[in-house]
Amino acid sequence: TFDLGDLKYEYPHELVPKGQTSTSWLRELTERGVRRRWPGGLTPATRAQVEKELALIAEKKFDSYFLTVHDIVEFARSQHILCQGRGSAANSAVCYALGITELNPEQSNLLFERFISRERNEPPDIDVDFEHDRREEVIQYIFRRYGRGRAALTAVASTYHGSGAMRDVAKVLGLPPDQINALAEAFSRWSDSLPSPERLREYGFDADTPILKRVLALTGELIGFPRHLSQHPGGFVISEHPLETLVPVENAAMADRTIIQWDKDDLDLVGLLKV
């Protein structure tokens, strides 16, 4: 038998210079950032916060993840690509020191545990927005850095909703386009529930006709099922070993891109970190 727990995921290590570990290198980069961000020195409270964060990051083995995000941000800035970290990462003094975020959590009194917590067994999620017109440069940098065998974009699974499911079913069953369009009007735009017989009558349909019964029955079964797979605009998974040994991958429709056939919820289930 196969168990998802058998999947062994290891984050890349090539960002660590010889003679360093991911933990020691993250600390060194953080201390460099501390000197830049706080030229007058840290207050005792902020020093304690930095030490607390570094200790928890090391305990959770997230050092390499932080190094990767830092490396990507450094590349973007070296190419004058606008970028900005956001979300709960703004609660982190380490992220601020590394230049990933621009909000000083010391001044904002933000809670780090909203970002990473010992009590929550969840990986950190550092969201970084990049200049839209130059995002592809960042994506291709990641592929060059790690290779398309070890880096891939995550998928987004689109599912069937009411009128969309009905259109595909009705088309297969041979309803003419004008009837399909009219029937779509009877579906709510805010709910996946099937239209009532009364609402169908308002739009000129008899809910008791065999063909309409079949259309509605199949539509109800189809709602919530996957419709198609698309690629996330920038969510990456990067691994020390070939991703094909961990997850199903395929070439994306766009040139020079690889995509994982799982979405973020699937990846969270098996503990794969997303960038």
**What is the rounded average pLDDT of the residues 227-234?**
76
Q: Is 242 within the bounds of a domain?
A: no
Q: Is 148 within the bounds of a domain?
A: no
What are the tokens at 241? 């070993």
Res. 133 pLDDT band, cuts 50 70 90:
very high
Q: Is 135 within the bounds of a domain?
A: no
Res. 8 pLDDT band, cuts 50 70 90:
low
Judge whether 257 and 151 are in contact, CB under 8 Å: no
Give Cβ neighbours of residue 1 (< 8 Å, ≥ 6 apart): none
What backbone phi and psi angles, to 5 degrees, belong to 75? -60, -50
Question: Which residue range(s) make up the domain with 207?
Answer: 161-224
Same domain, 113 and 174: no
Q: CA-to-CA distance for 179 and 47, rounded, in angstroms?
A: 68
Q: Is 232 within the bounds of a domain?
A: no
Q: CA-to-CA distance for 99 and 93, rounded, in angstroms?
A: 10
Judge whether 116 and 60 are in contact, CB under 8 Å: yes
Q: CA-to-CA distance for 154 and 23, rounded, in angstroms?
A: 27
Domain end marker among 130, 153, 173: 130
Q: Is 262 within the bounds of a domain?
A: no
Q: pLDDT digits over 9-37, tens only?
A: 677 777 889 999 999 999 999 999 999 99
Coil, helix or strand at residue 170: helix
Q: Is 60 within the bounds of a domain?
A: yes
